Amino acid sequence: MTGKCYLMKQEDITKRFSGEWILLFNDEIVDHSANIEDILKTCDEKFPADKFPDDEIKISKVLDGTLRDF
């Protein structure tokens, strides 16, 4: 999914990405993966800490039909 950003309803997110990690930038999904290491690598590559504020970047996991921020 790398390279695509889009907004979805939370219900759609929980269905489509169940059990996966999601990388969000300004509340738009930037990437997703079942592997957290993939998400962290993408985050480091696309959003270096010295150029992007932490409050604009989120990593969440879809668990039990709920989007949970970490």
* pTM score, whole prediction: 0.77
Tens-place pLDDT, residues 31-40? 999 999 999 9
Contact by Cβ (8 Å): 62, 18 = yes
pLDDT-derived band at 8, boundaries 50, 70, 90: low
Phi, psi of 18 (to 5 degrees): -55, 125
- Tokens representing 37 are 């290491």
Whether residue 1 is predicted with pLDDT greater than 60 in this model: the reply is no
Tell me the domain boundaries of the chain. Answer: 10-59
Whether residue 70 is predicted with pLDDT greater than 80 in this model: the reply is no
CA gap 70, 61 in Å, rounded: 8
More confident residue, 44 or 5: 44
